[in-house]
Amino acid sequence: MSVYETNRSKYSLGELQPFGGQWVAFSLDGSRILANAETLPGLEERLIAAGEDPQRVALEHIQFDDTSLGEAEWS
């Protein structure tokens, strides 16, 4: 497993839920969320505003399907 995969896997479902349906830019080592936005152009704008190079991030679209929700979430 790469350093990115090891660090990225440490984020729990609860930590990622606020980003559902959004694009998220992670640091290349997967240890930090650098920015998030609903669109890729919006994400790029936020990265640049934060002083980050959009070419030096790992992008992921955070998507949850119904199978990722437990009974408590449906109640």
> Residue 74 domain-assigned?
no
Adjacency order of strands within the sheet including 58-61: 33-37, 23-26, 58-61
Average pLDDT, the chain: 90
What is the spatial distance between Cα 41 and Cα 64, in angstroms, rounded to a whole number?
22
Range of the domain at 31: 3-65
> Residue 70 domain-assigned?
no
Q: What is the pLDDT of residue 66?
A: 59
**pLDDT, greater one: 74 or 54:** 54
Tell me how many domains the chain contains: 1
> Residue 75 domain-assigned?
no
pTM for the whole thing? Answer: 0.83
Q: What is the pLDDT of residue 59?
A: 97
> Residue 38 domain-assigned?
yes
Q: What is the pLDDT of residue 9?
A: 96
